[in-house]
């Protein structure tokens, strides 16, 4: 944009509205165009009339210090100690030996739960729900049927786990124990704990007791000889 001197209006310089830089006045053109209409060197005609822009200042604040995990650990540990004082840790820990020393039963239970849930979800799909007879009653009957049949595959599943688990140092008992511990801890978090994150602190602490007790039971469990 042209910069004119006052009071006679003499063209003295050009100002770039994009980079906010003062440029020398251009020489008059031979084609008769006023010198103020020619775009200065280094700018494009499309830059005429644009409002001055400035690059936002870079933040010089130091990187935020990593959050402390002491408070969440103490929060969960206190809930776990309360669960241990009322016997909840021992009650949950009693499920682990059953999975450790009864791999066929644990695998059968896992197959029943997985098969039943998968059947219920599969029959609720839009393209399938319309052809299931008796609607929701038919879905429930099919779910119960699958959940009662698939545990019969537990012995074969145990043999497969023993055969292929040997390559990584795990047998069916170890796999069943890990699955039971993961299902207990993960299930409590997924079904209970995560749904109360927006609640007040006392409510969150009460809800954290089952999950913290399960974590403590898993941490204190010793498989022992099989």
pLDDT in tens, 158-198: 888 777 777 777 777 778 788 888 888 888 898 889 889 88
Is residue 98 located within the same domain as residue 159? yes
> Is pLDDT at 39 greater than 50 in this prediction?
no
Is residue 191 located within the same domain as residue 94? yes
- Give how many domains the chain has, as a whole number: 2
Query: Residue 21: how many CB atoms within 10 A of its CB?
Result: 12
In-domain check, residue 180:
yes
Whether this model's pTM surpasses 0.75: no
Is residue 76 located within the same domain as residue 40? no
CA distance 88 to 6: 89
Torsions phi, psi for 15 (to 5 deg): -125, 130
In-domain check, residue 129:
no
Number of H helices, E strands in the chain: 9, 3
Instruction: Give kind and range of the element (H or E) at residue 124.
Output: none
Is residue 100 located within the same domain as residue 26? no
Provide the residue range defining the domain that includes 162: 70-110+154-220
How many residues in total does the chain contain? 226
Query: Residue 98: how many CB atoms within 10 A of its CB?
Result: 15
Please say whether the beta carbons of 146 and 111 come within 8 A: no
pLDDT band at 200 (very low <50, low <70, confident <90, very high): very high
In-domain check, residue 168:
yes
The string of pLDDT tens digits covering residues 7-25 is: 667 778 887 777 777 778 7
In-domain check, residue 174:
yes
Is residue 171 located within the same domain as residue 99? yes
The string of pLDDT tens digits covering residues 68-80 is: 788 888 999 999 9
Is residue 211 located within the same domain as residue 158? yes
């Amino acid at each position: 944009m042209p910069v004119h001197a006052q009071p006679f209006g003499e063209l003295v310089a050009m100002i770039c509205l994009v980079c906010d830089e003062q440029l020398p006045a251009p020489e008059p053109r031979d084609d008769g165009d006023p010198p103020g209409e020619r775009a200065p060197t280094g700018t494009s005609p499309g830059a005429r009339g644009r409002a001055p822009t400035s690059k936002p200042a870079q933040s010089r604040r130091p990187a935020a210090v990593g959050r402390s995990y002491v408070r969440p650990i103490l929060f969960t540990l206190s809930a776990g100690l309360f669960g241990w004082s009322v016997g909840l840790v021992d009650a949950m820990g009693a499920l682990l030996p059953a999975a450790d020393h009864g791999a066929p039963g644990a695998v059968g239970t896992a197959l029943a739960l997985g098969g039943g849930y998968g059947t219920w979800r599969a029959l609720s799909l839009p393209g399938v729900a319309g052809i299931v007879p008796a609607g929701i009653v038919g879905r429930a009957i099919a779910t119960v049927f699958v959940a009662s049949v698939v545990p019969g595959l537990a012995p074969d599943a145990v043999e497969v786990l023993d055969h292929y688990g040997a390559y990584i140092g795990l047998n069916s008992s170890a796999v069943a124990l890990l699955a039971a511990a993961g299902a207990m801890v993960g299930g409590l978090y997924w079904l209970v704990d995560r749904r109360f994150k927006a609640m007040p602190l006392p409510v969150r602490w009460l809800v954290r007791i089952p999950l913290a007790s399960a974590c403590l039971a898993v941490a204190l469990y010793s498989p022992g000889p099989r």
